Amino acid sequence: MPTYDHRAPLVAVMLLVALGLFGRTMWRRFAVLRSARPETRWDLVATRAKALLTIGLGQQKMFKEPASGLLHAFTFWGFCVLGLRTVQLFVHGFAPDFALPALVQRPYDAVVDVTEVVVLAAILGFFWRRLVVKPTRIAYSGEALLILGFIGGLMVTDLWYAAAHFGARHLANDAAALHHLAAAPFANLLAGTLLAAGFDAATLQLQAEANYFVHLAIILTFLNLLPMSKHFHVITSLPNVFLSRLEPKGALALVTDLEARLEKEESLGLAQAEDLNWKQVLDLYTCTECGRCEVNCPAWQSGKPLNPKMIILDLRDHVYAQSAVAKVASSGGVSAEAAGAGEKSLPPLIAGLNPDAIWACTTCRSCSEQCPVMIEHIDKILDVRRHLVMTRNEFSKEVATTLKNLENKSNPWGMAANKRADWMKGLAIPTLAESPNPEWLYFVGCAGSFDDRAKQVTLAVVKVLQAAGVPFAVMGKKEKCSGDPARRIGHEYLFQEQAKENIATMQDGGVRKVIASCPHCFNTIKNEYPQLGGKFEVVHHSDVIGRLLAEGRLTLQQGAALRVVYHDSCYLGRHNDMYEQPRETLARVPGVQLVEVERSRKLGMCCGAGGARMFMEEKMGTRINDLRVGQLMEAQPQVVAVACPFCLTMVQDGIKGKDLQDSVQARDLAEIVADALQAPVAPSPESGANANPG
């Protein structure tokens, strides 16, 4: 029988060298995390564990592209299955006959054998995609092919090792070993081929040993390449998923102690690597460079300079370079400041970012929705805006005008604040001051108060609520902008001031429940006001109307058949997971035939107005709303239904731009329902005094 005494010294040296190099690299990466700003991500362990199981281990987000998703999932699951096998192979370097109990080892050998063939097939599929199909979102590099070659090499060498080992044992009539090895069908098949080729036991054992050490060498080389390449995500993706953000998706992080920091003239937002918190750094480490965020970004698709993938990679490269400067400084016995003054100095982080890219973001959240490893893109982009606005005072004239309007008139259009309640003249709708402690507060919003087209939606909502006998009040002239435009522009101070004023008015008036027509107001009041102490039950009008219809509180008349496609608002959908409620509401309207387009729900494309882009000119590339309307027209609708005043404006403009206004209308779903009311009711404050929409 062959002996393996030669293995232990060589395996020990390989392990010591490889693990030493790996440990040094990982310590440097970890040191950057330790030096970053603190962030709490250790709460709600059960919720995090669920995300880890479904998104991390279950690869849930990979299947948005079924073919590549299956290839990646099988490769990932294969690595999970083969983890124990890898440990066993290293143990065999010191204890060649080590095996798990037969009841475990034999089934595991069979699973490993089949898994390696499946993974090898997946790797061949990846080679086909990269070398033949060549999807546009893929960043092509020799490194990726090398890594695929490594993974394929691991599968081949282990199969060959098992087959040659099996063949040698067969010739040696080692019954005990054959009992274990016979459970591996593909290794057995390969062993039969080797035996049929006439190899003797010594040659087979030599093949086994060669494949054994090549396999270990690939593993250890692969291990050391991971933290120095995009494949670092192999190590960081599961922790990144577990530590992902659990706060409402639509809420930006609150800047605390803002007034004190402004008085001290502290730098705010994201300007240097030191401004990142450790979770944001972990995000940068975890980017797979898969390009899913890129190809789904409306700004990138329409020819803008924003590429969310490159934002992450540019930030990552800056962090790596900054850590290298710090290392040179510490090893040279000089301060980091001194090193920064020399040849290795780095510009501020934001100097490497294109301002046009930062301002092109619509905050639609498509990037984060598509990211399979839960990277948060918007927080970094908006943190850069915060620095540009609050620290550097650098922004366009359009942004300056919008901020001035918000500050002086409390609405982004600059309309006279005392005209905010003009839309309700003659309607006898109670204000919060006149009717405190209302069942519902209807938060109208700036668009619904000032924009002529959006005011028609406001009146439709009022008509529906009063037809169902829902008691409500409005804030009237005391209503301020919700703060969404200011916050998405990056002016956190102005947002907090406006939000605090609204919260105080609402709390003083005894408000408990809020109806909002604008998804941006809805999201801000629901998800961001609690950061400042304003906790209310907040619902969108599409949800309220749907409940009223479901409860039989509204009677609608049969109308003519109407082919309707619904456009998903980003701030209802991806920010608040409200995809079905608007559709269910529309489906309850007699005569409405609801149709869908490919880009809908989580894959829906932004109209282009989010992130305060509503108030900035779109000067580069194709207009996003033109692209979106083109997609919606694939369903050949008569009506594009929306549930957002910004979407209404953008879709309406897109329809006009295509000269389709005579055949296609853009309408809010509240208008569609209001038009179908069987018995129109004149608005009155007394209707349904005790009613409640749920």
Give per-residue pLDDT as tens, 415-455.
999 999 999 998 989 999 999 999 999 999 999 999 999 99
**Coil vs helix vs strand at 564:** strand
Other CB atoms closer than 10 Å to residue 598's CB: what's the count? 9
Name the segment(s) of the chain with CATH classification 3.40.50: 397-549, 553-675
- Between 260 and 525, the more confident residue is 525
**Coil vs helix vs strand at 541:** helix
The pLDDT value recorded for residue 680 is 45
CB 546 within 8 A of CB 585: yes
The pLDDT value recorded for residue 634 is 95
Q: Is the pLDDT of residue 690 over 60?
A: no
**Coil vs helix vs strand at 431:** strand
The pLDDT value recorded for residue 82 is 92
Q: Is the pLDDT of residue 367 over 70?
A: yes
Q: Is the pLDDT of residue 333 over 80?
A: no
Instruction: Give the phi and the psi of residue 534 in degrees, each rounded to 5.
Output: -100, 95
Tell me what percent of the residues of the chain surpass a pLDDT of 90: 70
Show the tokens assigned to 648. Answer: 């209404």
From residue 587, alpha-carbon distances to 68, 416, 498 in Å are 34, 39, 37
Q: Which of 377, 287, 442 lies closest to 574, judged by CA?
A: 377
Amino acid 657 reads G
Give me the CATH code for the 258-391 domain, please. 1.10.1060
pLDDT digits (tens, 9 = 90+) for 563-591: 999 999 999 999 999 999 999 999 999 99
Quickly name the fold that domain 397-549 has.
Answer: Rossmann fold (3.40.50)
The strand pairing partners of 443, in sequence order, are 516
The pLDDT value recorded for residue 177 is 61
pLDDT band at 325 (very low <50, low <70, confident <90, very high): low
Q: Is the pLDDT of residue 330 over 80?
A: no
Residues 6+ away with beta carbon under 8 Å from 458: 423, 444, 448, 449, 517
Name the segment(s) of the chain with CATH classification 1.10.1060: 258-391
The pLDDT value recorded for residue 683 is 46
396, exposed or middle or buried, with CB in 10 Å at 0-12, 13-18, 19+? middle
pLDDT band at 274 (very low <50, low <70, confident <90, very high): confident
The span from the CA of 161 to the CA of 210, in Å, is 8
Give me the CATH code for the 7-242 domain, please. 1.20.950
Mean pLDDT of the chain: 89
Q: How many residues does the chain have?
A: 694
Torsion sign, CA atoms 683, 687, 690, 691: negative
The pLDDT value recorded for residue 326 is 55
pLDDT band at 630 (very low <50, low <70, confident <90, very high): very high
How many whole angstroms from its chain centre is CA 556? Answer: 39
Q: Is the pLDDT of residue 3 over 70?
A: no
Q: Is the pLDDT of residue 340 over 50?
A: no
pLDDT digits (tens, 9 = 90+) for 584-621: 999 999 999 999 999 999 999 999 999 999 999 999 99
Is 553-675 a domain of CATH 3.40.50?
A: yes
The span from the CA of 367 to the CA of 447, in Å, is 27
The pLDDT value recorded for residue 98 is 84
- Between 336 and 165, the more confident residue is 165
The span from the CA of 575 to the CA of 36, in Å, is 27
Other CB atoms closer than 10 Å to residue 554's CB: what's the count? 21
Instruction: Give the phi and the psi of residue 564 in degrees, each rounded to 5.
Output: -125, 130
The span from the CA of 222 to the CA of 233, in Å, is 13
Q: Which of 123-137, 384-398, 433-447 shows the lowest per-residue confidence on average (mean pLDDT)?
A: 123-137
Q: Is the pLDDT of residue 679 over 60?
A: no
Show the tokens assigned to 568. Answer: 């998903």
The pLDDT value recorded for residue 684 is 44
- Between 538 and 208, the more confident residue is 538
Q: What is the mean pLDDT of residues 70-79?
A: 90
Q: Is the pLDDT of residue 482 over 80?
A: yes
Name the segment(s) of the chain with CATH classification 1.20.950: 7-242
pLDDT band at 691 (very low <50, low <70, confident <90, very high): very low
Q: Which of 29-38, 58-67, 516-525, 641-650 shows the lowest per-residue confidence on average (mean pLDDT)?
A: 58-67
pLDDT band at 346 (very low <50, low <70, confident <90, very high): low
The pLDDT value recorded for residue 30 is 92
Virtual torsion, Cα 123, 126, 131, 132, nearest 10 deg: 120
Q: Is the pLDDT of residue 97 over 70?
A: yes
The pLDDT value recorded for residue 322 is 81
> What number of H helices and E strands is found in the chain?
29, 7
The strand pairing partners of 667, in sequence order, are 641
